């Protein structure tokens, strides 16, 4: 018994010693709770030079982690393992985080650069008054296609993807809302449809698309399209623009039946340890020149109206990536459909992927 006690004491001593050493090392490198900002963002979704610039200007060290889906982000924040000071969820995820009391209100008085945001991207349905969120990027879901590989075929609608001539030539992003959404739109149903008969119809139509699908992938869709591994890809507008920079044979279209208009916003999780630094970073990102640099790097559309004067005219006049109000009027924002319905979407999407295999 005494040996067991001595062993437990030894373990505790080693554990506390290691904790002390880690604490000292973090302090030596400037990583203390008072001057550290922990950010949780999508992959490759900020110019790293801007993080360095923020650190230099403020003396605050940035710890930067990434996620690949709203669902993965939500799960990690709900588990509470890491105290993130800023996260960048999409609109329906923000609604869910509000419902589950996972967010701190944003203090607008600490973000004077909020005045630079185009009013049409403020006070939206998922966060009236922007009580909990600050706009970061926005865009659409659409179809990117290689004009040489599709030959004389013209792609304008979602239904064009079911053309048998596109056998084994389409890449899809690995997202339930995006893929189920395109099928729903192709049937002239809403992206936020809760009618189970409509959802089953959409899933069965996806099953008929299976012969045309080469793969359902994540971030690698960019590389695959750049290397012409497939002729067609369903993806987000910013990813499409990045591919277009590398390959002048590709075109991007927002289908005529309609599609998703999405918004990614910065929020402060309730477990944040440094909300003051979070507000500083939000204000920094909303500086016009910073926002312009970030948009040029990332490729997605900036909601920062003041930043447009620092950007290339050819970019901001391209309606595929900065659609006018007429186009956006036929697009839909994803809504938080509730746990049961989101699970149903995910189950149908999983069945479709299994059918693909």
CATH class for the region spanning 33-135+266-316:
alpha beta
Asked if the model's pLDDT at residue 229 lies above 60, the reply is yes
Share of the chain above pLDDT 90, in %: 76
Predicted confidence at residue 18, as pLDDT, reads: 45
* 37 backbone dihedrals φ, ψ, rounded to 5°: -120, 120
In the chain, residues under CATH classification 3.40.190.10 are: 33-135+266-316, 139-261+326-356
pLDDT of amino acid 10: 53
Task: Give the pairing type, strands 259-266 and 213-217.
Answer: unpaired
**pLDDT tens, 246-281?**
898 999 999 999 999 999 999 999 999 999 999 999
* pLDDT surpasses 50 at 328: yes
Q: At what angle do helices 339-356 and 176-186 cross, to 10 degrees?
A: 80
Closest Cα partner for 198 from 216, 172, 178, 180? 180
H or E element: which one contains 278? helix 275-285
Using pLDDT thresholds of 50, 70 and 90, give the confidence band for residue 355: confident
pLDDT at 21 over 60: no
Q: What is the reported pLDDT for 228?
A: 94
Q: What tens digit of pLDDT does each residue of 72-112 get? A: 899 999 998 889 999 999 999 999 999 999 999 999 999 99
Q: What sign does the dihedral 148-149-150-152 (CA atoms) show?
A: positive
In the prediction, which pLDDT does 219 show? 83
At 68, the pLDDT band (50, 70, 90 cuts) reads confident
Instruction: Check residue 257 and give its pLDDT.
Output: 92
In this model, does residue 230 exceed pLDDT 90? yes
Indicate the CATH number of 139-261+326-356 among 1.10.8.60, 3.40.190.10, 3.30.499.10, 2.40.160.40: 3.40.190.10
Asked if residues 121 and 138 have their Cβ atoms less than 8 Å apart, the reply is yes
pLDDT at 26: 43
């Amino acid at each position: 018994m005494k040996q067991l006690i001595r062993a437990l004491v030894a373990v505790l001593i080693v554990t506390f010693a290691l904790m002390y050493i880690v604490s000292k090392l973090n302090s030596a490198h400037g990583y203390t709770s008072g001057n550290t900002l922990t950010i949780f963002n999508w992959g490759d979704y900020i110019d790293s030079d801007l993080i360095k610039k923020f650190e230099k200007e403020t003396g605050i060290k940035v710890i930067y982690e990434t996620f690949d889906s709203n669902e993965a982000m939500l799960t990690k924040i709900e588990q509470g393992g890491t105290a993130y000071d800023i996260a960048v969820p999409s609109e329906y995820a923000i609604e869910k985080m509000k419902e589950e009391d996972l967010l701190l209100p944003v203090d607008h008085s600490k973000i004077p650069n909020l005045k630079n945001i185009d009013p049409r991207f403020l006070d939206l349905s998922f966060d009236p008054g922007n009580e909990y969120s600050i706009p970061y990027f926005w865009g659409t879901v659409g179809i990117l296609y290689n004009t040489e590989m599709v030959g004389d075929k013209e792609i304008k609608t979602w239904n064009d993807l079911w053309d048998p001539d596109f056998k084994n030539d389409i890449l899809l992003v690995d997202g339930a809302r995006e893929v189920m959404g395109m099928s729903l739109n192709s049937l002239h149903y809403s992206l936020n449809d809760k009618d189970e008969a409509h959802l089953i119809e959409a899933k069965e139509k996806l099953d008929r698309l299976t012969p045309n699908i080469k793969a359902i992938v994540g971030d690698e869709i960019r590389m695959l399209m750049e290397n012409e591994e497939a002729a067609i890809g369903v993806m987000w507008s910013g990813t499409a623009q990045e591919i277009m920079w590398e390959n002048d044979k590709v075109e991007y279209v927002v289908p005529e039946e309609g599609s998703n208009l999405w918004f990614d916003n910065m929020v402060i999780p309730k477990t944040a340890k440094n909300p003051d630094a979070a507000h500083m970073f939000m204000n920094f990102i909303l500086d016009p020149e910073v926002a312009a640099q970030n948009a040029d790097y990332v490729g997605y559309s900036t909601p920062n109206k003041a930043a447009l004067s620092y950007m290339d005219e050819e970019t901001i006049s391209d309606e595929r990536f900065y659609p006018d109000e007429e186009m956006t009027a036929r697009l839909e924002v994803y809504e938080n459909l509730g746990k049961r319905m989101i699970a149903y979407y995910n189950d149908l999407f999983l069945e479709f992927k299994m059918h693909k295999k």
